[in-house]
Chain A
Amino acid sequence: MSGRFIDVMAAAERRDSRPRSSLPARSDTSDADLCVACRNGDSEALAELYVRYGDAVMAIAFRLLGSVPDAEDVLHDVFMGLPEALRHYEDRGTLGAWLRRIAARVALTRLRQDRARNQIALDDATLTQRASNRDDALSLESAVAALPPGLRAVLVLKEIERFTHAEIAGMLGISSGASEVRLHRALRLLRRALSEGERS
């Protein structure tokens, strides 16, 4: 048992509400060490993980939601919950892949919650886009954005983020077969939209 003086010092250290970094040079620190430190409340470790994986999380959120403010909200939420969520990270796959999967789930949850509210706005946007695209060549980006959200989600997750149909099925709460069908429909719609754009 340690003496009273040392215990008091330890307690005084505990009083510092901002956890101190236990890691030397961040750039050299492994993901595994950062995860342990982040789990223990080290805010610098969290910041380093943000530097490493913030862009990837932002990218997947933006691709699924199609809006920078919404994607930033997802990015914020993912890193807000990361220290607690890391308890479930078992270090089996890469941290990046695990984070992208979580970011996709957060974005999809947001998409589901906003779907009813955004339905009219989305349709309006699609119509506006189609009207403007009579003059301009229809870009791939706007063609993807014009896809119905359910199809766009599968397209983004499968073709860009390279998740398997089984993983996508798990995220969307559908069967693998339904995921394959949605991808097929998304690609068919995309091809039609792009060829119409080329013709006009």
Chain B
Amino acid sequence: MTWFSRLRAREIAEYADALRPELQSLRTPAAPPDLIERVQADRAAGRRVILPIGDEPARRGPWRYAALAAAVAVVVILLLPARRGDRGLEESFASTPILGGIALAQEAALSVGPNLPPAVTSNAARLTPVALEYSRVWHDSSGRVTRNFRGVVSLSADSVAGVPAWRVASTDKGTMNGRPQLEAETLYVARADLRLLARRVHVAPYLRYERINIDQRYVGDSVLGRMTLEGPTVQKGFWRPIARRLPPAFGPYLADAFAPVFLRAVPLRRDSRLSMSLVGWAVVPHDVLFPIEMHVVGDERVRVPAGSFDCWKLSVRFRGGSQDFWVRKSDGVGVRALDRHVKETGGTREVVLLHERFTTGVAR
């Protein structure tokens, strides 16, 4: 029997050798010349595709059918409660930027484009290691505190894949409607020009989940990465890809954690006008980038718990709203931000500098 099989196998192999030239000469259609234009148009519109680079996991052994059936049963059970919450996926997984209230304004703004020149980070060398402690308090229209957070933003020298970088770590702890919440963000920006390199965000709890994790890396004109969720109702292995374009015209880009210190790198004077964009979590289409415009409208002396400082007063405008932002004249550190008309509550939101500590971290 064994020999018989081998003879048949050899026969088939010889048949394959004979057939191969004919198989290889079978005609196939050519690539349509105009298809690349559609590809370029789609990319220019911000659409992205993540290609499967790795191999499929191997499936071996007869037990795989039983395992598959069991897995299907588990998935069905897990999906039953999960589906209820997934209805609002597109609305849910979006960031709440430090400037607040500018979400959902993105698409309208993108169709217009920035009116002001981009912020120029020519003072990037001015950045030094520092730790800044802030409070963020939201009041509703009746004056009741709805959210109360305290957070630290620290800047330290680091490197990413050999590129000298600033590591920006931001942690906010507080309560939202009486419920404790933690928000943490770690961001890496290139020390030379402050372009974004990588970012990780954790918020716990988030909606009905124990925690949401956002991992982003910035490649060329794109933000790539993944979102994962944690909690008992989350299907194991669930994740969502992040692949969005950041049009160069809307740069420079900054992330939330970097907002309090970004203007240290930007030379300001009375009547300076500049534009930039905040990067959102980029999981859903309306939360990719938020163009903002800043105008130095005057200078004031501002008293906050950290001290009394001579500041530039900036009017920060974005689609759907504006707020005031005071940065210290001497070094551009954000000292106070005030939004007098928070859309959701009709109340106010104020950020103030509580304490600062210039650390001695040495650039590596």
Known: A1-B125, A187-B16. A8 touches B120 (CB 8 A): yes
Contacts of A43 in B (CB 8 A): 40, 43-44
* Given A17-B249, A63-B28, A84:B44 Cβ within 8 A: no
Residue B50 lies at the interface, judged by CB distance under 8 Å to chain A: yes
Per the bound structure, the CA–CA distance linking A80 and B9 in Å amounts to: 42
Contact of A174 among B16, B40, B59, B221 (CB under 8 A): B59
Cα(A68)–Cα(B29), bound, Å: 7
B57 at the interface (CB under 8 A from A): yes
Contact with A along B164-182 (1 / 0, CB 8 A): 0000000000000000000
The answer to whether B248 and A79 have CB atoms under 8 Å apart is no
Judging by beta carbons under 8 Å apart, are A170 and B56 in contact?
Answer: yes
Cβ of B2 within 8 Å of any chain A Cβ, yes or no, is no
Q: Of B18-26, B298-306, B332-340, which binds chain A?
A: B18-26
Partner of A159, one of B23, B56, B60, B267: B23
Task: Number of B interface residues at 8 Å Cβ cutoff, please give it.
Answer: 53
Complex Cα distance, B222 from A17, in Å, reads 12
Which residues of chain A from 96 to 147 have any CB-CB distance to chain B below 8 Å in the complex? 102, 105-106, 109, 140-141, 144
Q: Which residues of B contact A80 (CB under 8 A)?
A: 39, 42-43, 47-49
Chain B residues near A8 (CB, 8 Å)? 117, 120
Q: B28 near A87 (CB under 8 angstroms)?
A: no
Q: Is B35 an interface residue (CB 8 A)?
A: yes
| Interface core residue of B22, B28, B247 (most chain A CB under 10 Å) | B28
**Residues of chain A from 12 to 39 with CB closer than 8 A to chain B in the complex:** 12, 14-19, 39
**Is B101 an interface position by the 8 A CB rule?**
no
Known: A159-B20, A171-B55. A55 touches B30 (CB 8 A): yes
Question: Which residue of chain B has the shortest Cβ distance to A190 in the bound complex?
Answer: B19
Question: How large, as a class, is the contact surface on chain A?
Answer: 35 or more
Nearest-Cβ distance from residue B80 to partner chain A, whole angstroms: 22
Structural contact, A17 and B247, CB atoms closer than 8 A: yes
Render B6-24 as a binary contact track against A, CB cut-off 8 A, 1 for contact: 0001001001100110111
Main secondary structure of the interface of A (DSSP, over half): helix
Given contacts A54-B36, A80-B47, A81-B49, contact A75 B56 (CB under 8 A): no
B51 near A105 (CB under 8 angstroms)?
yes
Asked if residues B30 and A58 are in contact (CB atoms below 8 Å), the reply is yes
Q: Find out whether the CB atom of A39 lies under 8 angstroms from the CB atom of B47.
A: no
With a cutoff of 8 Å between Cβ atoms, the chain A residues found around residue B29 in the complex are 58, 62, 68, 71
Instruction: Say how far A153's CB is from chain B's closest CB, in angstroms.
Output: 12
Report the minimal beta-carbon distance from B298 to chain A, rounded to whole angstroms. 22
Per-residue CB proximity of A62-99 to B under 8 Å, as 1/0? Answer: 11000010011001111111111101100000000000
CB pair A14 B120 closer than 8 Å: no
Minimum Cβ distance to chain A for residue B151 (Å): 31
Cβ–Cβ contact A173 & B19, under 8 A: no
Contact check, A85 vs B51: say whether CB atoms are below 8 A apart.
yes
Any chain A CB within 8 A of the CB of B75? no
Selected A-B contacts with CB under 8 Å, 19 pairs = A11-B117, A11-B118, A17-B248, A19-B221, A43-B44, A50-B39, A58-B29, A76-B42, A78-B51, A79-B39, A85-B51, A140-B19, A144-B26, A159-B19, A160-B23, A173-B59, A174-B58, A187-B15, A187-B16
Interface residues, chain B, CB within 8 Å of chain A?
9, 12, 15-16, 19-20, 22-24, 26, 28-32, 35-36, 38-40, 42-44, 47-53, 55-60, 117-118, 120, 122, 125, 219-222, 224, 243, 247-249, 251-252, 267
Chain A interface residues (CB < 8 Å from chain B)? 1-4, 7-8, 11-12, 14-19, 39-41, 43, 46-47, 50, 54-55, 57-59, 62-63, 68, 71-72, 75-85, 87-88, 102, 105-106, 109, 140-141, 144, 155, 159-160, 169-175, 183-184, 187-188, 190-191
Q: A11-B251, A17-B248 are in contact. List 5 more A-B contacts (CB 8 A).
A: A14-B248, A16-B248, A79-B39, A84-B50, A105-B52
